[in-house]
Amino acid sequence: MDRYGSIVNSGETGYLTPTALANASVQYKLGRATFGVIVNNLLDTIKRDNSYGWPFYAVGYYLPYGRQGWVEFSYHFGDT
């Protein structure tokens, strides 16, 4: 979990409230194979800033992406 404090809005007329982003990952090992799932921004939190116009997010502080996920598979060839 990452917490971001309050920052000045793009119009410099006030502050954006603090926000938090939750990320999660899990892995399962089965013999030489490993399976994993990674999710960034688990709660799909996007900090919107309508104070100045496009783009509607605080450039340089937050990313405008919503939830992102990956599936990972790895296999170990060899002795150990």
What local confidence, expressed as pLDDT, does residue 51 receive?
84
C-beta separation of 12 from 18 below 8 A: no
Judge whether 60 lies within some domain. Answer: yes
Counted domains in the chain: 1
Please give the mean pLDDT across all residues of the chain: 88
- Residue 64 sits in which domain range? 2-75
Strand locations in the chain (E): 2-4, 7-8, 15-16, 19-21, 24-30, 33-40, 68-75
Reply yes or no on whether the pLDDT at 61 is more than 90. Answer: no
In a domain, 45, yes or no: yes
pLDDT at residue 45 above 90?
Answer: no
Q: Is residue 21 part of a domain?
A: yes
